[in-house]
Chains A and B, each alone.
Chain A
Amino acid sequence: MSDLKRGVLGYRIDLENRDELRNSGYEPTVLLRACKDQLPKRNHIGKAFPLLKLLNQGNQGACQGHALALIFSICFYLMSGRVKNFSRAAAYYLSQKLDGISGDHGSTLSAGKKVAASGLCLEEDWPYPLRYDPLRPASATVDKFVYKLKTTKAFPKTEAGLQLMMEWLREGLPVQIGVFWNQSCDREVVTNYTWSNRDGGHSTVFWLFANENEVHNNNSWGLWNQDGIHSWTLAAVRQAFFCESNDFIGYAPDGIEVPDLDPITP
């Protein structure tokens, strides 16, 4: 993990279980169709923040956990209209446990998928610690892990797969990405994605567009780039998409499991 330093990274692209990632779960087309049937057309242009909480993984390799927690917040919001913070610590440490990774050495997207399916708790139940501490706190009792998401196969690396992902994003749905992060990714607007296997793996979330030609990438580096967000042009997205080591997973509110929602007094 000595390479994983820029910002702080933490996606173990080298340990990724690609077979699991690309072949387990629902076909994205199935979930997309369900969302189109059940959800009205949403605006796909806007910013995740300040609607959701600005994420900051600090000096831990918890990018994948942060991305997954953000995915939960987005899907819960799209379903309920309510904003909750989901446990970044649980998402990271439980993913690590499933990966068999000990120490602050990152996690994989395939493990994150299993956490999404088995259940995640809220940030208030398992707060993110300042220092690496995978011990589950007493407040995070088993009955708190009741929020679950259906998981999909990663988008297939074909032209049709790319178009499907763009359709996914234009439906206002989020995509968790796991990519080799490099200098080009640090720009405010990523126009040209290049990769080198000397770069570290990083996981972030595509959600909403800056305009019809730029996708917002929601990072977990706090106030990085002012509000933690930068944009990728469609050309850069295409280049990253077809990089064999990179993967993109769509998540959706369809089939989300949550406890009963308390009434709100207007």
Chain B
Amino acid sequence: MVLQRHFLLILSAFFLILSPCAGQEFFRIDNAQSIRTTKSVTTSHVILDGETIGTVVFEGPESAETNTPVTIISLLESNLPAYGPPLIEFETLAGVDAASAFKVLTPDLVWSSNKPGTYRILATAVNRETFRIKKQSAIITVGSSPEPNPPGPNDEVANDYHVGKLAYRIAPDDKSNLALFAKTYRDAQEFLYGRPHYKFVQSVQGNDTEMNVLVWIRNRLTSRTCRTQAECERWNQWMVQINAAIVAEQKARSQFVVTDWHATFGEIASALEARSK
């Protein structure tokens, strides 16, 4: 009795072409291209009375190359000898864990991702002598962004704090509230530098006060009037998402100081001003 077993293997050739993207103290980011080709290989074993008496291999033609953008994250251990090995974390801009989007190439040293999206890389290390914690972060975009392009000049909207494009993209088409929201964030910027008077972003003296610029923004925005309930709800969602992005950006930067708040408010205001045109 002769039994034939057929094994179909898909062989992949996988090459990475690295190009440096950004230098960091704790880690390095490289953009790469993975070039993948496939071919089918069929192996037939001829078995007689339980013994293999022959093997036949058929190889199919190699496929055309497919290029996939890959981002490589490499830990730089020797750059900061005073620090212990950094903890590397990956998350989305909204602060959701994104470790599953990154494949471990070398444990605790090298990761790669080809899953399209924008991610934040967080590195935390402790100084061996002073025990001070040092944090670094970087934003990377892998492949093409899964977010749909918003209408209009979104590419020209500043997005250093990762709120500009979001503010632009998710804002409802509501001219009067676009103007109100933009003006509110512009005024908030001015308060931080004392115009017409100073407000704070947080205080131990109590935050539920108009002296708190974040409370002031919230009060201004929630007092808006909308044409429809649905539109009002869209603005509510806009505020929720913007606030989440602001929190995520604070986490990504080791110190979020008043100039960062000023720039964040400015980025939102500019985006809404552009959107209202």
The chain A residues found within 8 Å of chain B, CB to CB, are: 38-47, 50-51, 53, 77-85, 124, 172, 208, 258, 260-261, 263-266
Contact = CB atoms under 8 A, between A and B. Distances in A.
B247 A81 contact: no
B243 A81 contact: no
Contact of B194 (A38, A83, A124, A172): A172
Contacts of B236: none
B197 A82 contact: no
B255 interface: yes
Contact of B202 (A43, A53, A83, A208): A83
A85 B259 contact: no
Contacts of B199: 51
B130 to A, nearest CB: 11
A266 B204 contact: no
A83 B204 contact: yes
Contact of A266 (B195, B246, B251, B257): B246
B210 to A, nearest CB: 11
Sort chain B's interface into a size bin.
35 or more
A264 B250 contact: yes
Interface in B193-246: 193-205, 211, 213-214, 217-218, 242-243, 246
Contacts of B242: 266
A131 B246 CA distance: 44
A50 B211 contact: yes
A81 B246 CA distance: 15
A43 B198 CA distance: 8
Which of B193, B198, B247, B257 has most chain A Cβ within 10 Å? B198
B195 A78 contact: no
B205 A264 contact: no
Given A40-B259, A51-B200, A77-B198, 9 more contacts: A45-B194, A46-B198, A77-B200, A83-B200, A83-B205, A85-B205, A260-B135, A266-B214, A266-B242
Nearest to B135: A260
Interface in B133-163: 133, 135
A46 B200 contact: no
A47 B197 CA distance: 8
B134 to A, nearest CB: 10
Interface string B115-141: 000000000000000000101000000
A85 B206 CA distance: 12
Contacts of A40: 193, 259, 262
**Cβ-closest 4 pairs across A and B:** A43-B194, A81-B258, A83-B203, A263-B250
Nearest to A77: B200
Which of B135, B250, B254 has most chain A Cβ within 10 Å? B250
B202 A264 contact: yes
24 contacts: A44-B194, A46-B197, A46-B198, A47-B197, A51-B199, A77-B198, A77-B200, A81-B192, A81-B201, A81-B202, A82-B200, A82-B201, A84-B203, A84-B204, A85-B205, A124-B204, A172-B193, A260-B133, A263-B250, A263-B251, A264-B201, A266-B214, A266-B242, A266-B246
B256 interface: yes
Interface string B42-73: 00000000000000000000000000000000
Contact of A43 (B193, B218, B262): B193
Contacts of A266: 214, 217-218, 242-243, 246-247
B250 A81 contact: no
Contacts of A38: 259
B211 A263 contact: no
B102 interface: no
B211 A81 contact: no
Contacts of B262: 40
B194 A263 contact: no
A41 to B, nearest CB: 7
A79 to B, nearest CB: 6
Given A260-B255, A263-B251, A81 B200 contact: yes
B121 to A, nearest CB: 17
A85 B204 contact: yes
B184 to A, nearest CB: 12
A51 B261 CA distance: 18
Nearest to B131: A143
Contacts of A260: 133, 135, 254-255
B257 A261 contact: yes
A41 B193 contact: yes
Nearest to B217: A266
B195 A43 contact: yes
B193 A42 contact: yes
A72 B198 CA distance: 17
A98 B204 CA distance: 29
A115 B217 CA distance: 38
